C-alpha cells in the first residue's frame, strides 16, 4: 500500500534490543491464554483439577480422546454449532458485503437526489449502539414468526453501515471518474461499467469488508442469545456460553464438561486464525483506508 512512496528512501534496518525485549514480554502476554487453552485441552478431568502444572502438559496427553468426546457429546451438538456459526458468518458476511459494495459505489459515483441527506443519516447510524436494536428487532421478528429461525440471526447481520462508509471512501479514491466515463463513451452500460471496470479496482476494500462482516457475524453473541431458544440453532459462541453456565452452576458434578469447554474454545478459534493468517495480505491494505480518513 505504501510501496511506491517508500521505495525512494531506503531505510536502514534497525534493531533496538531493549524495545524488542519489551515487545517480547507483550507477545507473551497476548499468547498466554492461547497457551493455557492448548495445554489444558490435552488433559482429562482429573488432570485439569489436580491444581498443579496449570501451564504445562500433564502426564497423559489425550487430544484425540477429548476431540472424540467433544464431537459426540449430547448427540454431536458441538459440530452443529460450528456449522451454524459458519453458515451465519458466510450468509451474513457475503450479504452485508454485497449491499455495502453496491451502496458505497452508489454514494461515491452518482450525484443523485437525497444523496447528501442519506449519507449523513448513514454516518449518524454508525453511532447507534447495535445492541439497542436487539430488543425491538426481536419484537418485530416475533410478530413475523421469525424468532428462533436462522433468519433471525442472518437478516440483522446484513446491516453494516461501517462497511458502506468504508466502501464509499475507497471507491471515491480508487476509482477515477475518467475511467468510468471512458467506459460509458465506449458504450458500456452502468451495470457493466460497475462490474467490469469499478469492481476490480475496489477489490482490496471488498475483501476487507467481507472479512470484517464475516468476523462480526461469527463473533456475534447478544443477537443470537436473544433470538434463539432452540440450542440446535445456536452459533458456537452462544453454545459455549451455555455450557459454561451449566458447568459453573454445578461445579462438582460437571467436571468432564470443563474439558469439553476448553477444547471447544480452542477448536472454535482455529478457523478464524487460519482465515486471518492466509488472508492477511488482503485485509491489511483495506484497514488503513478506514483509519486514515
Q: Binders of other proteins among 115-134, rule CB under 8 A? A: 115-116, 118, 122-123, 125-134
Closest to 169 (Cα-Cα) out of 282, 290, 2: 290
Q: How far from chain centre, in Å, is Cα 229?
A: 23
Which window, 58-66, 67-75, 145-153, 277-285, contacts other proteins (CB under 8 A)?
277-285
138 near other proteins, rule: CB under 8 A: yes
Centre a 10 Å sphere on the Cβ of residue 269 and count the other Cβ atoms it contains: 14
152 near other proteins, rule: CB under 8 A: no
Cell numbers at 264, concatenated = 471447544
Centre a 10 Å sphere on the Cβ of residue 111 and count the other Cβ atoms it contains: 6
Single out the residue of 91, 99, 154, 257 in contact with other proteins (rule: CB under 8 A). Answer: 99
Question: Residue 26 burial by CB count (10 A; 0-12/13-18/19+): exposed, middle or buried?
Answer: exposed
Cell numbers at 17, concatenated = 534490543
Task: Find the binding residues for other proteins in span 205-224 (CB under 8 A).
Answer: 215, 218-219, 221-222
Task: Find the binding residues for other proteins in span 243-272 (CB under 8 A).
Answer: 244-245, 248-249, 251, 258, 261-262, 265, 268-269, 272
Judged by CB, which is closer to other proteins: 71, or 290?
290
Write the CB contacts of 83 (distance below 8 Å, at least 6 apart in sequence): none
Scanning the structure block, which residue is given the C-alpha cell 458468518?
A: 89
150 near other proteins, rule: CB under 8 A: no
Task: Find the binding residues for other proteins in span 31-90 (CB under 8 A).
Answer: 31-34, 36-37, 40, 48-49, 51-52, 54-55
Judged by CB, which is closer to other proteins: 78, or 165?
165
240 near other proteins, rule: CB under 8 A: yes
Q: How far is CA 246 from CA 28, 85, 222, in A?
A: 31, 21, 18
CA distance 291 to 280: 17
Which window, 6-14, 61-69, 70-78, 145-153, contacts other proteins (CB under 8 A)?
6-14
Lay out the site mask for other proteins across 159-188 (x = CB under 8 A, - = otherwise).
x-x--xx-----------x---x---x---
Amino acid at each position: 500500500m505504501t510501496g511506491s512512496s517508500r521505495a525512494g528512501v531506503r531505510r536502514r534496518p534497525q534493531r533496538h534490543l531493549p524495545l524488542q525485549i519489551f515487545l517480547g514480554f507483550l507477545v507473551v502476554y497476548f499468547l498466554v491464554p492461547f497457551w493455557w487453552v492448548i495445554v489444558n485441552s490435552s488433559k482429562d478431568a482429573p488432570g485439569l483439577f489436580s491444581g498443579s502444572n496449570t501451564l504445562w502438559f500433564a502426564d497423559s496427553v489425550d487430544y484425540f480422546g477429548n476431540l472424540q468426546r467433544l464431537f459426540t457429546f449430547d448427540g454431536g451438538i458441538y459440530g452443529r454449532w460450528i456449522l451454524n456459526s459458519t453458515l451465519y458468518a458466510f450468509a451474513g458476511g457475503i450479504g452485508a458485503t454485497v449491499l455495502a459494495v453496491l451502496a458505497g459505489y452508489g454514494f461515491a459515483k452518482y450525484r443523485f437526489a437525497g444523496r447528501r441527506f442519506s449519507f449523513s443519516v448513514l454516518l449518524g447510524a454508525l453511532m447507534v449502539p447495535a445492541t439497542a436494536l436487539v430488543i425491538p428487532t426481536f419484537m418485530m421478528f416475533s410478530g413475523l414468526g421469525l424468532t428462533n429461525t436462522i433468519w433471525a440471526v442472518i437478516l440483522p447481520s446484513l446491516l453494516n453501515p461501517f462497511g458502506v462508509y468504508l466502501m464509499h471512501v475507497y471507491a471515491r479514491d480508487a476509482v477515477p471518474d475518467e475511467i468510468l466515463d471512458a467506459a460509458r463513451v465506449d458504450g458500456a452500460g452502468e451495470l457493466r461499467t460497475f462490474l467490469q471496470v469499478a469492481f476490480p479496482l475496489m477489490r482490496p476494500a471488498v475483501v476487507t469488508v467481507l472479512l470484517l462482516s464475516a468476523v462480526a457475524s461469527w463473533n456475534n453473541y447478544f443477537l443470537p442469545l436473544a433470538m434463539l431458544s432452540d440450542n440446535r440453532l445456536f452459533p458456537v459462541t452462544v453454545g459455549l456460553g451455555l455450557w459454561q453456565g451449566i458447568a459453573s452452576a454445578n461445579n462438582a458434578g460437571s467436571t468432564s464438561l470443563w474439558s469439553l469447554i476448553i477444547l471447544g474454545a480452542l477448536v472454535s478459534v482455529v478457523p478464524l486464525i487460519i482465515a486471518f493468517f492466509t488472508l492477511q495480505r488482503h485485509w491489511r491494505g483495506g484497514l488503513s483506508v478506514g483509519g486514515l480518513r
